[in-house]
């Protein structure tokens, strides 16, 4: 998984990605002296919270832009550019692996799960949350309608996302050797700064890049109109997020 990100805009306009993960950190429950790997650490804010709990933490992300910003934000933390589907850490055997809002960007779920499994010591835990089945369904339909309106490629041919059900992802973890302790799929409508246009500009580059530059505003206007009735309330756009939360362990 590799994607170019505007790390500054991500921090400024999409901070909800990491600010809404407080209870996921509670599930991780990092302890002093533990070694924890943060997969898809982004700009490092959750990695820093893990570090503040007294754990020794390594943050990895496939985006060099994100890692550069993370190192600027928290120079005392070990951040590395690494792809979860090809983890090759010399100092593996972590007590826990943590991941927030990342794994829906990794269609090769088996390779990711295998890499995470290898990074854990026997008995180590894996705590994650990411987009699950039905995530941003209204947004996806709006993007598909916008693409059709401007004569663009199909949504399916461009989508970078992987949104599994509990059963589908439990099977992925089982194949990797994990024991699933807990899995929950839940709705979490989330207000987004900049409306759906800003959301697509941040997270939908695969669609924008497929639309001729002179028609992108038209495309985004179609997307905005398509979600106006279903996702906009009192002037605020709420992305129809559905999250899959996982707690699993590598058997001792």
Q: What is the pLDDT along the chain (252 residues), one digit of tens a residue?
A: 445 546 465 554 445 555 677 789 999 999 999 999 999 999 999 999 999 999 999 999 999 999 999 999 999 999 999 999 998 887 679 999 999 999 999 999 999 999 999 999 999 999 999 999 999 999 999 999 999 999 999 999 999 999 999 999 999 999 999 999 999 999 999 999 889 999 999 999 999 999 999 999 999 999 999 999 999 999 999 999 999 999 999 999
CB contact set of 4 (below 8 Å; sequence gap of 6+): 63, 65, 205
User: To 5 degrees, how large is the angle CA 185–CA 190–CA 191?
Assistant: 175
Residue labelled with tokens 């302890």: 31
Cβ proximity of 46 and 100 under 8 Å: yes
- pLDDT recorded at residue 11: 54
Pairing assessment for the beta strands 120-131 and 236-249 based on DSSP bridges: antiparallel
User: To 5 degrees, how large is the angle CA 242–CA 18–CA 10?
Assistant: 100
| Packed helices 195-203 and 216-231: angle between N→C axes, nearest 10 degrees | 120
- pLDDT recorded at residue 208: 96
Cβ proximity of 15 and 194 under 8 Å: no
- pLDDT recorded at residue 14: 45
Alpha-carbon distance of 189 to 213, in angstroms, equals 31
Residue labelled with tokens 């055997």: 93
- pLDDT recorded at residue 88: 84
CB contact set of 217 (below 8 Å; sequence gap of 6+): none
- CB burial of residue 75 (10 Å; 0-12, 13-18, 19+): exposed
Would the pTM of this model clear 0.75, i.e. be above it?
yes
Residue 215's H or E segment, with its range, is none
Alpha-carbon distance of 57 to 179, in angstroms, equals 23
Compute how many other C-beta atoms are within 10 angstroms of the C-beta atom of residue 182: 10
What CATH superfamily is the domain 7-249? Vaccinia Virus protein VP39 (3.40.50.150)
Distances in Å between the alpha carbon of 214 and those of 198, 200, 202, 211? 18, 17, 19, 8
- pLDDT recorded at residue 22: 79
- pLDDT recorded at residue 57: 97
- pLDDT recorded at residue 89: 83
């Amino acid at each position: 998984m590799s994607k170019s990100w505007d790390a500054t805009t991500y921090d400024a306009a999409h901070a909800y990605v990491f600010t809404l993960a407080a209870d996921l950190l509670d599930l991780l429950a990092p302890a002093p002296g533990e070694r924890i790997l943060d997969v898809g650490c982004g700009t490092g804010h959750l990695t820093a919270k893990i570090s503040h709990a007294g754990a020794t933490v390594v943050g990895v992300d496939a985006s060099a832009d994100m890692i550069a910003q993370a190192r600027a934000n928290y120079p005392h933390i070990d951040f590395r550019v690494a792809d979860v589907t090809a983890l090759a850490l010399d100092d593996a055997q972590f007590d826990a692996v943590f991941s927030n809002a990342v794994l829906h960007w990794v269609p090769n779920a088996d390779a990711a799960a295998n890499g995470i499994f290898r990074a854990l010591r026997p008995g180590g835990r894996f705590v994650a949350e990411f987009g699950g089945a039905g995530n941003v369904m209204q947004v996806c339909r709006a993007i598909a309608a916008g693409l059709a309106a401007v004569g663009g490629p199909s949504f399916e041919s461009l989508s970078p996302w992987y949104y599994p059900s509990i059963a589908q992802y439990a099977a992925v973890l089982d194949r990797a050797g994990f024991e699933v302790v807990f899995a929950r799929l839940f709705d979490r409508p989330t207000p987004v700064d900049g409306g759906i246009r800003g959301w697509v500009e941040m997270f939908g580059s695969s669609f924008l890049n497929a639309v001729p530059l002179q028609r992108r505003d038209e495309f985004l206007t179609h997307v905005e109109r398509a979600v106006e009735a279903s996702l906009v309330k009192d002037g605020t756009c709420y992305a129809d997020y559905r999250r899959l939360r996982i707690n699993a362990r590598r058997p001792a």
